[in-house]
Amino acid sequence: MGIMINIDQLLTYPLFRNLQSSALEEILQCVHVQYRSFPKGYYLAMTEDEIRYIGIVCKGSVQMIKEDYWGNKTLLVHMRPGELFGETFVCSALFASKVSFVTAEKTEILFLNYDRVMHTCSLTCRYHHRLIENMLQCIAEKNMRLMEKIEIVSKKTLRDKLMTYLSFEAQKQGTDYFTIPLGRMELAEYLCADRSAITRELVSMQEDGLITFEKNQFRILIK
């Protein structure tokens, strides 16, 4: 498994919820994991690549992006430590990715062999079924995030898109004062909007008493 894997850290992740450390160690041996580090901007997979693994972000972050014919990027999901990527495509019959996955910063990732995850070994380790149940829950949660993205970008005005996005972040973090994970360019890609327009609108929203912000720290002033 390698000395870099932090079992206590992994136990806090949704994929391994309700497991004890001894059970997790048994599972990691069963599913043949690899732990690797990547620099910022590294493409872990590109559109139409065949994916045969499930990745777990352990440090840093990974972005799921869609690039069109002309190279324009749309940010679909920003994945933080504990979140999975690639699981949707390995569970399909084609295995071909319809998006690209790229590191947003220096990132460490735990890779799990899909076949070993989904098909219990001959010994049928006692905790394997719990792992599969957890992965299905993670897939459902990812689908909810994509539905959240649809709700945000379907708003008619840029202000409504920004307020909806910020309100979702406040709900996730449980406070009206929070830090968003996206820089201005990434936020523009996520909202399918112009970066300069976003900057102007945020200033306007602050002047109108809706929010306050400094860099990536925001406070929502209205309920």
What total of structural domains would you count in the chain?
2
For the entire predicted model, the pTM comes to 0.85
Task: Indicate whether 175 and 210 sit together in one domain.
Answer: yes
Q: Give the chain's largest Cα–Cα span.
A: 64
- Helices assigned H by DSSP within the chain: 7-10, 21-31, 87-90, 114-118, 128-153, 158-173, 184-191, 195-207
What is the pLDDT at residue 196? 98
Which residues in the chain show pLDDT less than 70?
1-4, 93-95, 120-126
Same domain, residue pair 168 and 140 = no
State the CATH number of the domain containing residue 173. Answer: 1.10.10.10
Give the per-residue pLDDT at 219. Answer: 98
Task: Show the domain range for 183.
Answer: 155-220
